[in-house]
Amino acid sequence: MPKSHLIATRHSRIHGNGVFAIAPIRKGTRLIQYRGKLRSHEEVDQVYADDIESGHTFLFTLNSEYVIDANVDGNDARWINHSCDPNCEAVHDEDDGGDPSRDAIFIESIRAIKPGEELTYNYGIKLAEAHTPSLKKLWACHCASPQCTGTMLQPKRKKK
């Protein structure tokens, strides 16, 4: 259940829509569950095969078996934008019974957030392929933070 008395969706300077604090939010507050249709990775690959070059971000990897597709039955959590200096994080709750289809993603604050401030988290996008200039452009970050890397892609680990 979203803390609807704490957040609201509206236009964002970062990108399209965004989610904003409408009241003070304490550090550690669970704000909203990321919801959408549960799909297998294979199904997502089939459904979005023609969409590979879109940089779409309404797909959230839940675990090794499932992806949450917020394009279908998604809620306001899908409008929370990426930032290189986020005030929230995505928290993975594993099902106590070990059923990966019952896992969940929640967005929680990692610091106090003032009214009017946009909620953000680091999307943590990892790609197996090389981060070419075209991929960096496709996954460009517009957070405008002093720590902005210019991309939502996570740095590749250097081989030792």
Output the CA angle 148-107-124, nearest 5 degrees.
40
Strand partners, 93: 104
What's the CATH code of the domain at 43? 2.170.270.10
The answer to whether position 143 is within a domain reads no
Q: How many domains does the chain have?
A: 1
- What is the end-to-end Cα distance of the chain in Å, rounded? 45
Name the pTM for this structure. 0.89
The answer to whether position 146 is within a domain reads no
The answer to whether position 40 is within a domain reads yes
The answer to whether position 129 is within a domain reads no
Strand partners, 20: 8, 118
The answer to whether position 140 is within a domain reads no
The residue count for the chain = 160
pLDDT at 155: 86
pLDDT at 156: 80
Query: Are β-strands 81-82 and 120-121 bridged in parallel, bridged antiparallel, or unpaired?
Result: parallel
**In the predicted structure, residue 1 carries a pLDDT above the cut 60:** no
Domain that includes residue 94, residue range: 7-124
pLDDT at 11: 97
